[in-house]
Structure 1
Amino acid sequence: MKKLAFDEFTKKIYVKAPMEKLYECWATSQGICTWFLRNAEYSMADGSKREPLEKIQKGDKYVWEWHNWDAKATGEVLEANGTNKLAITFENNIVSVTLETQKRGVLVVLRQYNIPTDDESKLNVHYGCSNGWTFWLTNLKAFVEHGILLNETEIDLTNIPLAGFEFVNM
Structure 2
Amino acid sequence: MKSWETFTKRIRINKPIEEVYNCWATKSQIEKWFLEKADFIFENRVRKPHELIQKNDDFQWKWNNWDFTEEGQVLEANGKDILSFTFGSGGIVAVTLKEVQYGTEVELIQKDIPTDDSSKMDIFVGCITGWTFWLTNLKAYLEHGITLHAKGLSQDETKDLVNS
Is TM-score (shorter-chain normalized) higher than 0.5? yes
Correspondence for 1:167: 161
Corresponding letter in the other structure for 1:153: K
TM-score (norm 1): 0.92
Shift of residue 52 of structure 1? 0.5
Shift of residue 159 of structure 1? 2.0
**Structure 1 residue ranges, 4+ long, deviating more than 2 angstroms after superposition:** none
Shift of residue 67 of structure 1? 1.4
Q: Secondary structure at the residue paired with 2:107?
A: strand
Within 5 Å, give how 1:15-164 maps onto structure 2.
15-44=13-42, 46-92=43-89, 93-154=91-152, 156-159=153-156, 163=159
Identity value in percent? 45
**Is there any run of 5+ residues in structure 1 with no aligned partner, and where?**
none
Matches of 1:15 and 1:85 in 2, distance apart?
16
TM-score (norm 2): 0.95
Corresponding letter in the other structure for 2:110: Q
Give aligned pairs, total. 163
Shift of residue 158 of structure 1? 0.7
Corresponding letter in the other structure for 1:34: K
Q: Secondary structure at the residue paired with 1:33?
A: helix
Q: CA RMSD in A?
A: 1.2
